[in-house]
Amino acid sequence: MEIDDEMIKSKGEEEDKKKPIVVILVGAPGSGKSTFCDHVMRVSTRPWVRVCQDTIGNGKAGTKAQCLALSNTSLKQGKNILIDRCNLDKEQRADFVNLKNSHQVDIHAIVLDLPAKLCISRCINRTGHEGNLQGGRAAAVVNRMLQKKESPKINEGFTRITFCYNENDVQSAMDTYGSLSSINTLPSGCFGEKKTDSKVQVGIMKFLKRVDAPSKLASDKTDKTEKTDKTTPGTSNDNTTQENHPVNEVETVEEFVNKIGNGRLVLVDLSHGSKILSLVKTKAAKKNIDSKKFFTFVGDITKLQSGGLKCNVIANAANWRLKPGGGGVNAAIFDAAGPDLDTATKQRAGSLTPGKAITIPLPSTSPLFSKEGVTHVIHVLGPNMNQKRPNCLKDDYQKGCRVLKEAYVSLFGNFESIVRNQEKLCKHFDGVLNSGVEKVRREDDEVCGTEKNKKFKGFVEEKEMGGKVNKDWGSWAQALYKIAMNPEKHGNDVIEILDDVVVLNDVYPKAQKHVLVVTRVKGLESLSDVGEEHLPILRTMHDVGLKWAQTFLKENESLVFRLGYHSAPSMRQLHLHVISQDFDSKHLKNKKHWNSFNSSFFRDSVDVIEEVREEGKPKLNDDEKFMSMELRCNRCRSAHPNIPRLKSHIAICKSPFPENLLQNGRLLHAPTKV
């Protein structure tokens, strides 16, 4: 019986190991989702299927529904899925997470939370992108999408979540999933999520560099020196100087530590019992140097990332020929960086004199870059006491200390230059980001403000209510108020004037028929101002709206109308939209236009009246997230990638309207003929 139990248990574990994985990638455009998929599919022995909405329609953009259909088909075939969509909010992820309800799968999330500036840079510079997001408009799009970002949580239904904040994290995640065989599993839970301060979370760059002594230690002015370990990163075999060199190092740190902005200096050594670390630490404490800007660390300088210290720049105690080999830290760094460092170094310089340093940018192909995140190596040459090498000081230790000081000054100067250049780069991308935001504003003006200015051409802002204008409304947003208060002055725009309301055509309608019923009650600017005392005016506005809808239906019985309010209108003075549901209009141009009439942001008039009657005020769905929801047909609720595709679909869609709209008189249409 025990054997049978073991067999059953073993079989169950084997089944679990074979369970497919659905990996939902979460990240802005340019965060590396497609690269992640390509890498995993190329190196993994597991059968993977990439589900990409940009290409799912026979190489062209498709719908979320198509992505779900392909996912279901692939899972039935026992394949693993990589969901290549932005999936930045919970709602976008939910349908894919729910795949576990119909399939025995694990649901994983890979969160590519890279700096916005990096994502924008990639998008701007790329060409031939599948989703056609490239060039100058990328900054605005990335910024806009990141505003709705919601980090995934385990309670959404995920088995495992991996957070990646930089390219090294991404590479590690790619390696993890790329190495999975068909029988491997990954532990459940949340991995890599930052628990740090807000500066790190918003991507403030912190450079961590090695400030290793570019020399061996000598105990006195004689020829006695410590023996250098030829295989261990730590010191260069070309140089010796006095044991008191930490004084030079710390004093130079003290001079530079306030010049390097968000940079930090770290002294690295392999041994916990390192005498040099102890001396430096003591001296730095005596000088009250900020321990957040300068500190010590025990570890291998070529594997700091693996040891928990994220490092961008490392200093190499080089030999004068700037050649690989020779033992010590120089050999270790060249070995870890691969031939790319040697090639890049030769392009910059052939040799180095004592007391000087030179910065070598590492190519992204270098293992030290891709695995450890090291972007620069600074070669530095200290004083030389070896008579077989050039510039030997011949035991002149006083001069040796001066040269050593020069070496640190040159080293830190090079590092300061890297930090300064990076800060300029950040400012450049901030400019790109800000210009992108401004571009969005200009685009919004084109589709909203400019049209509205044209729509109410000739209106001049006047001082009202004792010379004051509501500061919450821009000048163009006052136009409806002006019409409502003095409709007789605007006969060309108004189609009906009553005691309590005026009716006017929307000059830029979003459907074949689109009119506004505007209240003439002062102080009633939007739904947020509505209370129980306003029930009579709400009923009047509704009745007038019904009358106009019925008038239009007599002209065209195929139309269907909906009456409602925007939760947060863009124009002052409460107004009811009477709009046909064909949305056949050249003025319906973007997602905001569509979602303002086809999401919970649009409040049906009958619901508003009922809520005010029962609760004294209407419900407001004024969250901006409604404006950025995906485009869905107002009939069958299918998803579409852009407005042209959506318009083509709704022009032929004959599906019935959703059940909630068919109830309580929310839709108005011509009577069915018997």
Over range 239-262, report the average pLDDT.
58
Q: Who wins on pLDDT, 605 or 411?
A: 605
Identify which of 450, 556, 445, 570 has the alpha carbon closest to the alpha carbon of residue 511.
Answer: 556
**Intrachain domains 17-199 and 476-669 with the same fold:** no
Q: Does an H or E element contain 95, and which?
A: helix 90-97
Task: Classify burial at 415, counting beta carbons within 10 Å of its beta carbon; exposed 0-12, middle 13-18, buried 19 or more.
Answer: buried
Is residue 307 predicted with pLDDT exceeding 70?
A: no
What's the rounded Cα separation, in Å, for the pair 164 and 288?
A: 35
Tokens of 73: 């088909």
Main-chain dihedrals φ then ψ at residue 365, nearest 5 degrees: -80, -10
Over range 416-436, report the average pLDDT.
55
pLDDT tens-place string over residues 358-402: 989 888 788 888 777 888 888 888 887 777 777 787 777 778 778
Residue written as token pair 């600074």: 378
**566 included as an active-site residue:** no
| Domain edges within the chain | 17-199, 208-423, 476-669
pLDDT-derived band of residue 473, with 50, 70 and 90 as boundaries?
low
pLDDT-derived band of residue 415, with 50, 70 and 90 as boundaries?
confident
Task: Name the class of domain 476-669.
Answer: alpha beta
Residue written as token pair 């261990």: 232
Main-chain dihedrals φ then ψ at residue 498, nearest 5 degrees: -120, 175
Rg (CA), the chain: 34
pTM above 0.85, yes or no: no
Q: 549, 668 in Cβ contact below 8 A? A: yes
pLDDT tens-place string over residues 329-339: 888 889 989 99
Main-chain dihedrals φ then ψ at residue 513, nearest 5 degrees: -125, 125
DSSP state of 661: T
Q: Who wins on pLDDT, 565 or 385?
A: 565
What's the rounded Cα separation, in Å, for the pair 526 and 524?
A: 6
pLDDT tens-place string over residues 130-150: 555 656 566 777 877 877 788
Among candidate residues 566, 575, 593, 640, the one labeled active-site is 575
SS3 75: helix
Is residue 624 predicted with pLDDT exceeding 50?
A: yes
Q: 231, 300 in Cβ contact below 8 A? A: no
Task: Give the list of residues 6+ apart from residue 324 with CB closer than 8 angstroms, or none.
Answer: 330, 331, 334, 335, 341, 342
pLDDT-derived band of residue 413, with 50, 70 and 90 as boundaries?
confident
Cross-strand partners of 108: 23, 160
DSSP state of 60: B
Q: What is the pLDDT of residue 422?
A: 65
Chain centroid to CA 59: how far? 26
Q: 578, 592 in Cβ contact below 8 A? A: no
Q: What is the pLDDT of residue 392?
A: 80
Q: 180, 46 in Cβ contact below 8 A? A: yes
Q: Does an H or E element contain 48, and which?
A: strand 48-52
What's the rounded Cα separation, in Å, for the pair 199 and 499?
A: 58
Task: Classify burial at 87, counting beta carbons within 10 Å of its beta carbon; exposed 0-12, middle 13-18, buried 19 or more.
Answer: buried
Q: What is the pLDDT of residue 470?
A: 39
DSSP state of 449: I
Total H helices, total E strands in the chain: 20, 23
CA angle 409, 412, 417 (to 5 degrees): 120
Q: What is the pLDDT of residue 460?
A: 31
Q: Who wins on pLDDT, 422 or 24?
A: 24
Q: What is the pLDDT of residue 479?
A: 87
DSSP state of 448: I
Topology at the third CATH level for domain 17-199: Rossmann fold (3.40.50)
Q: 81, 21 in Cβ contact below 8 A? A: yes
Is residue 621 predicted with pLDDT exceeding 60?
A: yes
pLDDT tens-place string over residues 71-106: 999 999 999 999 998 898 888 899 999 999 999 999
Identify which of 299, 88, 319, 136 has the alpha carbon closest to the alpha carbon of residue 210.
Answer: 299
What's the rounded Cα separation, in Å, for the pair 632 and 595?
A: 9
Helix axes 397-444, 138-146, angle to 10 degrees: 90
What's the rounded Cα separation, in Å, for the pair 389 and 239?
A: 9
3-state helix, strand, coil in the chain (%, to 5): 40, 15, 45
State percent of the chain over pLDDT 70.
76
What's the rounded Cα separation, in Å, for the pair 23 and 639?
A: 21
pLDDT tens-place string over residues 246-257: 445 677 777 777
Cross-strand partners of 560: 669
What's the rounded Cα separation, in Å, for the pair 654 and 657?
A: 9
